[in-house]
Structure 1
Amino acid sequence: MKKGPGRRPLSAKRQRFMELRGRGWSILGAAREVGVSRTTGNNWSRGYKTYRRGEVVGFVAPLDRLAVRQVSARFLSQDERIMIADLHHAGISVRKIADQVGRAPSTVSRELRRNATGGHYRPFEAHRQATARRARHHRCRLETNRGLRDLVGGLLAQRWSPQQISRHLRRRFPGEPGMWLCHESIYRAVYQPGSVLMRPSRLAPQRRSPLRTGRDHRRAHQRVERRRPRFEQPMRSIHQRPFQPDDRSEAGHWEGDLIVGKDQRSVIGTLVERTTRLVRLLHLPLRDGDSLHDALTSRMADLPPGLLRSITWDQGAEMARHLAITESLGAPVYFCDSRSPWQRGSNENTNGLLRDYFPKGTDLNAHLPKHLLAVENELNSRPRLVLNDYTPADRFAALLASNDPSVLRR
């Protein structure tokens, strides 16, 4: 194709850029991935002004997903519009243009008539105009079905994830496909500007977003490095545990850690049972070994020996009295490797869920034991995919009622 005047389309890069943006990539990250500058990425995402002699003479709108999406061949593509513009500016007739482009003369004539601006045909502006006319606003199911919207909003207020809600709707309405939603539809409804689903819950009023991430729009994933001081006291290593890290067949093995508040002056202890994912929270007035010892022995004293076999903890100084904890509870304490939080995967995941209720940078001492118990009960009453949509409370109750609580009956 002969090169004409104006900017080159970079069609493949723009399409890839918009795909990455739709998946949550940042502007800078998507621009680097497709090989364009940050300025180009900003222009594609936000639009830009055009100047002449220091004055603003126009505005180029941001890219629309329809403008870079592959469409049916019956629509004119941007490359075809560039060819039409080049041939038209060269003074070639409509019929000869149609022969070279491979379109009907009426298609070319209508294109030049409908999408010209100020008597001039500009291909990129013409493509934007055609894309805007092709766009249609389709009302989603949550907009048209008030009962479904209220049900989804109520579950989001209880901190259910969109995946959990999607599975719940299929179980609750097995013969009504009109009441089903995929999790992406729920995310889109939440992220929509002015969404009625964007409201805080009763137990976590400080978080406006109903999502556990706290987001009100899509954004790029960020990797946060977590560092903790090494525990120097004699200890049992996680590699000395009598089972493999992925073995969850025996109940009674717990994973524990602390979530830390503002300026590291307040903490809450967290414990998760590896098989049932049951959560228990510890109210700690101080971040020291004595407070953790007292809280652990008090909170875990109601468990039978078969449901308290070991505790796996991070290498934090709060576990300085781990030998006394082992003696009081009759359960050994194992320590993860330094900077290896994935060795306590269930606990790390739970700590992320708890940040909905106890945000970073806040004073955790303001939460009384009664509030901790309410949060604990809400988490334990939430269905989990890993438990085949049973709740941790149901699974743990089954263990307590079993003659052999060491094995979870599936």
Structure 2
Amino acid sequence: MTQLHDTTESIKGKHLTPDERAQIAILKREEYSNRQIADRLGRAPQTINNEVNRGTVQQMRRQKQNGTVYDTYYDVYDPDYAQARYMNNRRHCGRQPKWSLSDAFVDWADTQMLDHHWSPDAVIGAARQRDLFPVSLIPCTTTLYNWIDHQIMRTKNMDLTEKLHRNTKSNRRKAPDHKRKMGPSISERPAAVNTRETFGHWEIDTVIGAKHKHDAVLLTLVERQTRFEVILKIDGKAAQPVTQAVASLVERAGAHMPSLFKTITSDNGSEFSELYDTLEAVTDVYFARPFASYERGTSENQHKLIRRFIPKGQPISEISDRQIQRIQRWMNDYPRKILDYQTPHECFVKAFKQTQPAQSA
């Protein structure tokens, strides 16, 4: 009888090795039962039973007697076949990636990112919020970024404007004191504005295209709670065009001005030098510190979205009013993670309705 190394050490949870399969084959030829083999190898009897069933092949023995050929078939455990089958099963084990289950989500996600300039996070959030696909097909945001990195998607990293330009390092520096007094400082602004708990607090700023004084400029206003954006094309980066645009906006707001515009926060650019005098009678205006763009972070983030369509250096005078309206509509219909993947337009309408007095029956 062949002597094999005996072990009583528990190896629970470990897969059978090629050496163990060779030992099983030897013991089977010596007519050991599966339970006896399990005892010799320190394995569970069911493990050996399953292994023998998976690794058993049918072989043929041919004999010739008195001019007649006889074929007989018998079963035998083949360790090489068992090992090959094990390796094949290992290659196919594990959960299939979600992108391999269906093309529906991948194609839709590519369309949103390439044609509609959505971010991967907006794609995931909108798909879940609107129940567009079965949960089993929707990955997490990190996974979608990994799919893009591994070129599973048509979308490439170069198509993700935010990813290419994101800077994780802090560039903040201590802001100097005001060089000029244009109006109340942001430090005097009510603390409730910072929490975004109430509606009607806005940030105002400008976006320039070509750097020459004759080019048009975009005047932007964003409501801090809902991220609702208003974009106005004005004749230049000067106080007069800004004052005219703001006065027009106040006229359009009409009786709703007190509930729509509770405060407006601006920077210290010369184009806003008349802003306080223009709006003093209808709303509160505050000015951020110089070189402290983080105090108007909502505007800065909104401008990144605008730059997807109007890169720096492109003359704004060449952009039609209709195109600017399209950009504004896209921004207000873009699902935001910060809004639980609702759109700014949806949140703005809800918030504005809440400010209106209830209608009596």
State the TM-score, normalizing by the size of structure 2.
Answer: 0.62
Which residue identity lines up with residue 286 of structure 2 in the other structure?
A: Y
How many angstroms apart in 2 are the aligned matches of 1:175 and 1:259? 38
Deviations 1:200-255 (A, max 9, x none): xxxxxxxx94423263xx99756667999966244111112233452222211111
Change (3 A) 1:142 1:237: same
2:231 paired with 1:281: yes
- How far is 1:326 from its partner? 1.2
2:238 paired with 1:238: no
Aligned to 2:180, what secondary structure does the other structure show?
coil
How many angstroms apart in 2 are the aligned matches of 1:300 and 1:238? 22
- Mapping of 1:112-261 within 5 angstroms? 141-142=98-99, 145-156=102-113, 157-173=115-131, 176-192=134-150, 195-198=153-156, 209-213=158-162, 215=164, 221=168, 232-261=180-209
How many angstroms apart in 2 are the aligned matches of 1:250 and 1:147? 40
How many angstroms apart in 2 are the aligned matches of 1:367 and 1:284? 12
Which residue identity lines up with residue 184 of structure 1 in the other structure?
A: T
How many angstroms apart in 1 are the aligned matches of 2:167 and 2:296? 25
Aligned to 1:213, what secondary structure does the other structure show?
helix
- How far is 1:316 from its partner? 0.6
Task: Structure 2: give runs of 5+ residues left out of the alignment.
Answer: 1-13, 16-90
Task: Structure 1: give runs of 5+ residues left out of the alignment.
Answer: 1-72, 75-133, 199-207, 406-410
Aligned to 2:204, what secondary structure does the other structure show?
strand
Change (3 A) 1:143 1:364: farther
2:340 paired with 1:391: no
| Count of residue correspondences | 260
* Relative contact order, higher structure (CA 8 A, sep 6+): 2
* RMSD between superposed Cα atoms in Å: 3.4
Q: Which residue of 2 aligns with 1:295?
A: 245
Q: Which residue of 2 aligns with 1:336?
A: 288
Identity value in percent: 24
Aligned partners of 1:229 and 1:315 also within 8 Å = no
Tell me which structure has the larger Cα radius of gyration.
Answer: 2
Q: Which residue of 1 aligns with 2:263?
A: 310
Which residue identity lines up with residue 275 of structure 1 in the other structure?
A: Q
State the TM-score, normalizing by the size of structure 1.
Answer: 0.55
Answer with 361-370 or 251-260: which moved more.
361-370
Deviations 1:21-46 (A, max 9, x none): xxxxxxxxxxxxxxxxxxxxxxxxxx
Aligned partners of 2:333 and 2:345 also within 8 Å = yes
Change (3 A) 1:251 1:221: closer
How many angstroms apart in 2 are the aligned matches of 1:231 and 1:139? 62
Aligned partners of 1:255 and 1:312 also within 8 Å = yes
Deviations 1:41-72 (A, max 9, x none): xxxxxxxxxxxxxxxxxxxxxxxxxxxxxxxx
Aligned partners of 1:228 and 1:316 also within 8 Å = no
- Candidates 262, 287, 295, aligned match of 2:210: 262
Answer with 161-170 or 396-405: which moved more.
396-405
How many angstroms apart in 2 are the aligned matches of 1:144 and 1:152? 15
How many angstroms apart in 2 are the aligned matches of 1:367 and 1:325? 28
Q: Which residue of 1 aligns with 2:35?
A: none
How many angstroms apart in 1 are the aligned matches of 2:96 and 2:211? 46
Aligned partners of 1:238 and 1:335 also within 8 Å = yes
- How far is 1:358 from its partner? 1.5
